[in-house]
Chains A and B, each alone.
Chain A
Amino acid sequence: DIQMTQSPSTLSASIGDRVTITCRASQNINNWLAWYQQKPGKAPNLLIYKASTLESGVPSGFSGSGSGTEFTLTISCLQPDDFATYYCQQYDNYPWTFGQGTRVEIK
């Protein structure tokens, strides 16, 4: 199985900060990498797919980059609505696997 490792597990930041979350795959996943945002008690929401393609309707302040095994999610200017937990997911091979999540909290 492909292991997905996110860092950090928790991130404390302020409104307006630039935030970067890293996701590392245990093997090449051919850029089949998605990022989701989840708020407490809610379903996940797709932000990015194919490593860097912004899902329709997602604010342009979110961006994804990387290839092979190393990927990043960047929030260019943190907004109040962005405080949430973020997950990466590989869908290159079954079983699909998620990272453990990164909680972005208010500093």
Chain B
Amino acid sequence: EVQLLESGGALVQPGGSLRLSCAASGFTFSSYVMAWVRQAPAKGLEWVSTINTDGVSTFYADSVKGRFTISRDNSKNTMYLQMNSLRAEDTAVYYCAKKFGYGYALDYWGQGTLVTVSS
């Protein structure tokens, strides 16, 4: 059974940092593109970042570029999102999701982890 389990969400002050993790199981993690998508309270979905299977190719939304870093450890079947210089507008549920490759969409999502940025 495919599982994606996010962790690391918390209440953090503006300007602070957090690292989210996404632990994967039930599929060949190293063969899948992985992504983070967030959803602010009562808002729509916003793509945050994507990392290719090799862990070298990464992509970011302009809203997080330079502040967030996506990475993966294929030996641990885990993806990460290092979030620095957090702002109130980063408050959201952060979902991790997987994608088989070119032409495929995000076919499985975790249940999400809540990040709240507030003083």
Contact = CB atoms under 8 A, between A and B. Distances in A.
Contacts of A87: 44-45
Most chain B CB within 10 A, of A43, A55, A98, is at A43
Interface stretch (B16-24, B70-78, B99-107): B99-107
Interface of A: 1, 32, 34, 36, 38, 42-46, 49-50, 55, 87, 89, 91, 94-101
B105 A94 contact: no
B25 interface: no
A56 to B, nearest CB: 9
Interface residues of B, number: 23
Contact of A98 (B45, B50, B104, B107): B45
A96 B107 contact: no
A96 B48 CA distance: 9
Contacts, number: 58
Contacts of B112: 43
B46 A98 contact: yes
Per DSSP, chain A at the interface is loop
A39 to B, nearest CB: 12
B103 A50 contact: yes
Interface of B: 35, 37, 44-47, 50, 59-62, 95, 99, 103-112
Given A44-B95, A44-B109, 19 more contacts: A1-B62, A32-B103, A36-B45, A38-B45, A46-B105, A49-B104, A49-B105, A49-B107, A87-B44, A89-B47, A91-B105, A94-B59, A95-B61, A96-B35, A96-B47, A96-B50, A97-B47, A98-B45, A101-B45
A44 B95 CA distance: 9
A101 to B, nearest CB: 5
A34 B59 contact: no
